[in-house]
């Protein structure tokens, strides 16, 4: 395992992401590397509050100077659009059983943080503006569900239309159960059940990294806009 404050940066032409190597979901962006690292450090306490006591050992850095950049990646148009898109090298490493369990627990904690935030904002107006655009709460929740359906495909699965009935929360529960099952299978070294149309699948680590980031990014968006 890399030291806790080892990070990578993904450098686009308009936006830069800084992300923790070992703590998926702790990832922020800025206009340049300096501002991305400053934002990452500033969100350390917020990240700790989001994951709660699910995984012990996280200590927010006192300042950006405590972060150590160990990998720089060239971003692309997706990076500039505002979504991290390039996997750091560590994501290609095998997952041992204890680390696989830890990653799944962290991802579930990030999903839980999103759910709690969405429930607490129910019935309240979200402030309009550049933070998250103009989506209302229901639209954000639907967007998060649709994103994880896409992530299921990138992990090598396929969401069956009509596989889950009920409201969005029930559909999300069913989808997450399927995601965690497939993640565990891939983490054991099993091949993906299928290859998506893009021709490439994500590694198990990168799937966790993307889904955890997406859940917390929108949880924090909701908090900022209430």
Q: What is the CATH number of the domain that holds 178?
A: 1.20.120
Tokens for 82, please give them: 């505002």
Euclidean distance between CA atoms 211 and 207, whole angstroms: 6
CB 180 within 8 Å of CB 104 = yes
User: pTM of the entire structure?
Assistant: 0.94
Of 55, 90, 125, the position where a domain reaches its end is: 90
Q: Is residue 79 part of a domain?
A: yes
Domain that holds residue 184: 95-225
For the chain, the residue count is 226
Q: Are residues 75 and 120 in the same domain?
A: no
Of 50, 75, 90, the position where a domain reaches its end is: 90
Q: Which of 30, 222, 54 is nearest to 124 (CA)?
A: 222
Q: Are residues 215 and 180 in the same domain?
A: yes
**Higher pLDDT pick, 160 / 59:** 59
Supply the pLDDT for residue 95: 95
Supply the pLDDT for residue 134: 74
Of 90, 113, 129, the position where a domain reaches its end is: 90
Supply the pLDDT for residue 128: 84
Q: How many domains does the chain have?
A: 2
Q: Is residue 48 part of a domain?
A: yes
- Taking all residues of the chain, what is their mean pLDDT, rounded to a whole number? 93
Helix boundaries (H) for the chain: 33-42, 44-51, 77-81, 97-120, 137-155, 168-187, 204-225
Supply the pLDDT for residue 166: 65
Q: Is residue 1 part of a domain?
A: no
178-221 pLDDT, tens digit per residue, is 999 999 999 999 999 988 777 789 999 999 999 999 999 999 99
Q: Are residues 75 and 108 in the same domain?
A: no
163 pLDDT band, cuts 50/70/90, is low
Q: Are residues 52 and 70 in the same domain?
A: yes
Q: Are residues 113 and 220 in the same domain?
A: yes
């Amino acid at each position: 395992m890399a030291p806790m404050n080892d990070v990578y940066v993904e450098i686009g032409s308009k936006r830069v992401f800084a992300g923790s190597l070992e703590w998926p979901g702790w990832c922020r962006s800025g206009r340049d590397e300096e501002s991305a690292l400053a934002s990452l450090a500033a969100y350390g306490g917020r990240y700790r509050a989001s994951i709660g006591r699910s995984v012990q050992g996280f200590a927010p850095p006192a300042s950006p100077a405590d972060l150590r950049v160990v990998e720089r990646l060239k971003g692309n148009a997706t990076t500039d659009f505002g979504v991290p898109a390039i996997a750091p090298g560590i994501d290609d490493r095998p997952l041992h059983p204890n680390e696989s369990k830890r990653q799944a627990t962290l991802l579930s904690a990030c999903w839980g943080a999103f759910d709690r935030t969405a429930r607490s904002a129910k019935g309240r107006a979200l402030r309009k503006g550049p933070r998250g655009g103009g989506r209302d709460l229901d639209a954000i929740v639907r967007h998060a569900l649709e994103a994880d359906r896409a992530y299921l495909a990138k992990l090598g699965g396929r969401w069956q239309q009509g596989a889950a009935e009920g409201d969005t929360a029930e559909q999300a529960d069913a989808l997450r159960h399927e995601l965690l099952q497939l993640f565990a299978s891939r983490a054991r070294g099993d091949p993906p059940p299928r290859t998506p149309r893009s021709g490439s699948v994500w590694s198990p680590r990168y799937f966790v990294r993307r889904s955890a980031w997406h859940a917390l990014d929108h949880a924090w968006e909701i908090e900022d806009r209430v």
